[in-house]
Amino acid sequence: MRALSLLLAIAASVQAAESSPVIASLSGEEIFSRLMEHNRQRESLLRGYTVQRDYSATNPSGKLYAAEEVRMNYTAPDTKTFITLSARGSWLVRDLVFSRLMQSEASAARGSERTDSSIAPANYRFEASGAGEVAGRPCYVVHAIPLRKDKYLFEGQIWIDGAEFAIARIAARPASNPSFWIRRVEFVRTYSKVGSVWLPSRDETVADIVFHGRKVLTIDHRDYVLKTVDESSSR
C-alpha cells in the first residue's frame, strides 16, 4: 500500500513538472532588466499605430449601460488622439467614464506623466514569484511593488513572456484609490504580439462605486495598423 502511494506521488510530481513552463531561473532584478531592454528595442522600432477600440460598461450580470467604438491613433513618442466612430447607451457614462479615460490616457502619454506612470525601476520593484503561461507561452510571473502611493501606479502580478521579455498580462489594482467615490478597483490587461511588437488586446476593470455598486468596464483592442522603422505599415 505504501509502495502504491509512493508511486502515485512520484507520478503526480512528474506530471506537474511536465505541465509547468520550463524557463531559466532569474531574479526579479534580472527580469526587470530584460524587460527594460525589450521596451527600448520596441520604442526604437515603433513609430506609431492605429487601433480600433470597443468600450463597454456593464454590471456583473452583463446588463449594458453604454458602448462606444473608437479609433485611436498613436504617434511616437507621446501623442494619442481619439475619434469616436459610434456610440450608444447612457450619455452620462460615456461622458464621465469613456471620455475621461481617453483624456487621461492622452495626458499620461505626454510630458512628466508619461515618465511617472511607466513600468520602470524609478517607479516599481519586481519580486520573482514563479512561472506561468499566457496563451500557451511560458512566462515569468513577478509581483510589481510600486515605490510610492500614486493613482497612476499599480500593485499586482505581471506575466512576462519567457522568450521575448514582453509583458503578456497584468492583474493588479491602483496603488492609490483614484477617487473618493470608488471603493475598490481591480483590472486585468492582456497583450498579444502584433507584427513584431506586443500591444494591448483587452482590458477589463471592475470597480465598486459608492451608491452605484459594482460596474465592469471592458476595452477590446483590434485591427492594429502599425508604422515601424522597417515598414510603412503592417496589420
Q: What is the pLDDT of residue 23?
A: 80
pLDDT in tens, 213-225: 788 999 999 999 9
For residue 66, is it within any domain?
yes
Supply the CATH number for residue 100's domain.
2.50.20
pTM, two decimal places: 0.83
Q: What's the rounded mean pLDDT across residues 21-30?
A: 86
- Residue 15 or 220, more confident: 220
- Report, in this order, helix, strand and coil percent for the chain, each rounded to 5: 25, 50, 25
pLDDT(113) > 80 = no
Taken in order 100, 105, 108, 111, the sign of the CA dihedral is negative
Is 33 part of a structural domain of the chain? Answer: yes
Tell me which long-range contacts 58-65 makes (C-beta under 8 A, separation of at least 24): 58/215, 58/216, 58/218, 59/213, 59/214, 59/215, 59/216, 60/206, 60/214, 60/216, 64/89, 65/89, 65/90, 65/93, 65/215
Average pLDDT over residues 96-114: 79
Do the domain assignments include residue 21? no
Q: How many domains does the chain have?
A: 1
Q: Which three cell numbers stand for residue 75?
A: 504617434
Buried b (16+ CB within 10 A) or exposed e, 124-152: bebebeebbbbeebbbbbbbbebeeeeeb
What is the band of 18 on the pLDDT scale with cuts at 50, 70, 90? very low
Structural domain includes residue 5: no
- pLDDT for residue 183: 67
Euclidean distance between CA atoms 138 and 7, whole angstroms: 28
Residue 178, preceding bond cis, omega within 30 degrees?
Answer: no
Q: Is 143 among the domain residues?
A: yes
Show the domain range for 107: 27-228
Q: Does 19 map to a domain?
A: no
18: in domain? no
